[in-house]
């Protein structure tokens, strides 16, 4: 089967056969997928060979460190982390497998192996889920704006009814605006804050784009950005939940995020069950070249409290709250910790300081917060925002930190991920 035909098969499967009657039908698909995954990948890997036929609970929980240290035991080529990184940096393939690298700035970049089959599967599935009604019956132009130094992204790819163009935010946003308008995308995919910026320019008449669907990817979609997007273009603000670890979720036609449970098993590691907040622990059984088994993500997801009206049995997510590093943690009663979620921080700050155009909050130590408000905010609103934050911590039973007002630094670099709320010390384990 040639590349385009294979993409189409996966497109068709995802678009027309993804509809599971109920949860039981979905679970049968997961069982079949896991069986093949155990046979075709896990039983070949030194690290998992002996576990391959055991229940999932017998596998160790993995994280970034685990993957880096045991990299050679996790991929079919037996490449060590350093070998794989060398290949990724030189853009070289090995046995038809290419190696991608996350775009982070830290020394510990995530690496991922992908073969042509995996790439085409994901392309087909993502297209199927992202394209507006009518799909490939009409011509579509998909523009993807992301910061990447990976050669896995081609600049332009034309496959008949679909033209795909990648705009690299590493060279800034303004460098691309005119070309983006000329391309006239029907599907637009960009990080949330870039999409919000484009939407505001559109509403102000300074930009002319008319995507039928606009997706935010790669960072948390803030309500203010979602509002700007829905004001600029028709339909709900869509989201793609994709990261180095895989393609994990996408919004349905109603705008509800659903997890891609037909390709990935999600275990819930609860952070706060009352709030339905969890870290997903993922097992991607669509992988063929590198195992991703019981990998604990840093992301915090909030599970929806009821099924989506679209009828899909795939787990509905109320929202992606951020990363674990975005949760503020305070000392609570009896040696416990209390958690302030970024969503609460945002509501608290912006309610108390309505003049603030934007804000940033950093928790550098358990007992110190630094709050920055954007725009000309009167001093009494700065004070009100600090008081409101202190009150929010008190309500949780936490010990109130010192809260300082600092100068707001606007994000200059569109290649960087925008994180308004950040904790810069490690997550405290409970005793
Ligand atoms: Zn839905």
Helix (H, G, I), strand (E, B) or coil at 77: coil
Q: Which residue has the higher pLDDT, 169 or 349?
A: 349
Q: Give yes or no: residues 260 and 332 share one domain.
A: no
Structure tokens, 110: 């995530």
Distance from the CA of 368 to the center of ligand 1, in angstroms? 40
Q: What is the mean pLDDT of residues 406-428?
A: 78
Q: Percentage of residues in the chain with pLDDT exceeding 70?
A: 88
Distance from the CA of 315 to the center of ligand 1, in angstroms? 9
Residue 110 CB coordination number (10 Å): 16
**pLDDT band at 276; cut points 50, 70, 90:** very high
As beta bridge partners, residue 289 has none
Helix (H, G, I), strand (E, B) or coil at 163: strand
Q: Percentage of residues in the chain with pLDDT exceeding 90?
A: 48
* Pairing verdict, β 421-423 and 359-365: parallel
Distance from the CA of 335 to the center of ligand 1, in angstroms? 40
Q: Give yes or no: residues 80 and 67 share one domain.
A: yes
Over residues 354-375, the pLDDT tens digits come to 999 889 999 999 899 999 998 8
What does the radius of gyration of the chain's CA atoms come to, in whole angstroms?
22
What are the distances in angstroms from CA 105 to CA 97, 338, 428?
Answer: 24, 30, 24
Q: Give yes or no: residues 397 and 280 share one domain.
A: no
Q: Give yes or no: residues 314 and 236 share one domain.
A: yes
Distance from the CA of 392 to the center of ligand 1, in angstroms? 33
Q: Is residue 386 part of a domain?
A: yes
Distance from the CA of 276 to the center of ligand 1, in angstroms? 18
Final residue before a domain boundary, out of 302, 324, 346: 324
Residue holding tokens 């037909």? 262
What integer pLDDT is reported at residue 289 of this predicted model? Answer: 94
Q: Which residue has the higher pLDDT, 227 or 410?
A: 227
Q: Is residue 431 part of a domain?
A: no
Q: Is residue 250 part of a domain?
A: yes
As beta bridge partners, residue 360 has 372
What integer pLDDT is reported at residue 159 of this predicted model? Answer: 65
Query: Could you give the CA distance from residue 193 to residue 7 in angstroms, rounded to a whole number?
Result: 30
Distance from the CA of 307 to the center of ligand 1, in angstroms? 8
Q: Is residue 230 part of a domain?
A: yes
Longest dimension (CA), the chain: 67
Q: Give yes or no: residues 320 and 335 share one domain.
A: no
Helix (H, G, I), strand (E, B) or coil at 379: helix
Distance from the CA of 187 to the center of ligand 1, in angstroms? 19
Distance from the CA of 17 to the center of ligand 1, in angstroms? 16
Q: Is the pLDDT reported for residue 157 higher than 70?
A: no
The CATH number given to whatever domain includes residue 336 is 3.30.300
Highest averaged pLDDT of the listed ranges 48-57, 331-340, 414-423: 48-57
Over residues 2-24, the pLDDT tens digits come to 555 666 666 666 655 566 788 99
Q: Give yes or no: residues 90 and 122 share one domain.
A: yes
Whole domain around residue 288: which residue ranges? Answer: 3-324
What integer pLDDT is reported at residue 414 of this predicted model? Answer: 63
Query: Could you give the CA distance from residue 325 to residue 426 in angstroms, rounded to a whole number?
Result: 8
Distance from the CA of 171 to the center of ligand 1, in angstroms? 36
Structure tokens, 299: 């992301």
Q: What is the mean pLDDT of residues 261-281?
A: 93
Q: Is residue 388 part of a domain?
A: yes
Distance from the CA of 317 to the center of ligand 1, in angstroms? 9
Q: Is the pLDDT reported for residue 36 higher than 90?
A: yes
What integer pLDDT is reported at residue 202 of this predicted model? Answer: 95
Final residue before a domain boundary, out of 309, 324, 339: 324
Q: Give yes or no: residues 385 and 314 share one domain.
A: no
Q: Which residue has the higher pLDDT, 198 or 134?
A: 198
Distance from the CA of 263 to the center of ligand 1, in angstroms? 17
Q: Which residue has the higher pLDDT, 156 or 232?
A: 232
What integer pLDDT is reported at residue 243 of this predicted model? Answer: 77
Q: Give yes or no: residues 139 and 203 share one domain.
A: yes
Distance from the CA of 15 to the center of ligand 1, in angstroms? 14
Query: Could you give the CA distance from residue 286 to residue 41 in angstroms, rounded to a whole number?
Result: 10
Q: What is the mean pLDDT of residues 73-86?
A: 94
Q: Give yes or no: residues 277 and 334 share one domain.
A: no
What integer pLDDT is reported at residue 148 of this predicted model? Answer: 64
Q: Is residue 69 part of a domain?
A: yes
Q: Is residue 221 part of a domain?
A: yes
Q: Give yes or no: residues 21 and 77 share one domain.
A: yes
Q: Is the pLDDT reported for residue 342 higher than 70?
A: yes
Q: Is the pLDDT reported for residue 153 higher than 90?
A: no
The CATH number given to whatever domain includes residue 221 is 3.40.50.12780
Q: Which residue has the higher pLDDT, 213 or 103?
A: 213
Q: Give yes or no: residues 165 and 75 share one domain.
A: yes
Distance from the CA of 44 to the center of ligand 1, in angstroms? 37
Q: Is the pLDDT reported for residue 308 higher than 50?
A: yes
Q: Is residue 430 part of a domain?
A: no
What integer pLDDT is reported at residue 431 of this predicted model? Answer: 45
CB-based burial of residue 205 (10 Å sphere; 0-12 exposed, 13-18 middle, 19+ buried)? exposed
Q: Which residue has the higher pLDDT, 116 or 24?
A: 24
Residue holding tokens 């958690």? 339
Distance from the CA of 387 to the center of ligand 1, in angstroms? 39
Final residue before a domain boundary, out of 268, 290, 324: 324
Distance from the CA of 58 to the center of ligand 1, in angstroms? 33
Q: Give yes or no: residues 14 and 126 share one domain.
A: yes
Q: What is the mean pLDDT of residues 105-119?
A: 77
Provide the residue count of the chain: 431
**pLDDT band at 325; cut points 50, 70, 90:** confident
Q: Which residue has the higher pLDDT, 411 or 325?
A: 325
What are the distances in angstroms from CA 328 to CA 11, 252, 325, 344, 363?
Answer: 41, 31, 8, 10, 7
Counted domains in the chain: 2
């Amino acid at each position: 089967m040639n590349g385009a035909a294979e993409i189409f098969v996966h497109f068709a499967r995802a678009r027309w056969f993804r509809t599971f009657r109920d949860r039981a039908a979905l679970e049968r698909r997961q069982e079949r997928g896991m069986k093949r995954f155990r046979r075709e990948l896990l039983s070949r890997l030194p690290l998992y060979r002996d576990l391959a036929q055991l229940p999932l609970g017998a596998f160790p929980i993995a994280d970034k460190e685990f993957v880096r240290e045991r990299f050679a035991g996790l991929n079919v080529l037996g490449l060590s982390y350093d070998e794989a990184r060398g290949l990724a940096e030189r853009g070289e393939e090995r046995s038809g497998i290419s190696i991608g690298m996350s775009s982070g700035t830290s020394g510990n970049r995530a690496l991922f192996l992908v073969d042509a089959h995996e790439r085409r599967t994901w392309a087909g599935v993502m297209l199927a889920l992202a394209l507006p009604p009518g799909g490939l019956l009409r011509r579509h132009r998909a523009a993807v704006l992301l910061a990447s130094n990976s050669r896995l992204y081609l600049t332009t790819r034309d496959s008949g009814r679909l033209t795909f163009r990648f705009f690299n935010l590493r060279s800034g946003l303004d460098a691309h605006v005119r070309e983006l308008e000329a391309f006239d995308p029907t599907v637009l995919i960009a990080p949330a804050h870039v999409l919000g910026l484009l939407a505001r320019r559109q509403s102000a008449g300074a930009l002319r784009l008319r995507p039928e669907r606009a997706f935010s990817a790669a960072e948390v979609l803030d309500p203010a950005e979602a509002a700007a997007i829905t004001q600029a273009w028709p339909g709900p603000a869509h989201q793609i939940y994709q990261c180095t670890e895989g393609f994990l979720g996408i919004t349905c036609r109603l705008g509800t995020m659903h997890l891609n449970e037909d390709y990935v098993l999600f275990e819930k590691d609860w952070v706060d069950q009352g709030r339905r907040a969890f870290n997903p622990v993922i097992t991607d059984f669509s992988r063929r070249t590198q195992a991703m088994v019981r990998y604990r993500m840093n992301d915090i997801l909030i599970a929806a409290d009821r099924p989506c009206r679209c009828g899909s049995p795939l787990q509905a997510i109320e929202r992606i709250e951020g990363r674990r590093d975005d949760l503020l943690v305070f000392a609570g009663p009896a040696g416990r910790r209390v958690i302030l979620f970024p969503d609460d921080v945002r509501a608290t700050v912006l309610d108390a300081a309505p003049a603030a155009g934007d804000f940033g909050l950093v928790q550098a130590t358990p007992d110190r917060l630094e709050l920055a408000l954007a725009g000309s905010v009167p001093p009494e609103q700065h004070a009100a925002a600090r008081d409101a934050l202190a009150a929010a911590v008190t309500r949780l039973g936490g010990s109130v930190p010192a809260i300082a007002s600092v100068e707001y630094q606007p994000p200059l670099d569109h290649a960087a991920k925008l994180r308004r709320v950040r904790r810069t010390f490690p997550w405290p384990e409970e005793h």
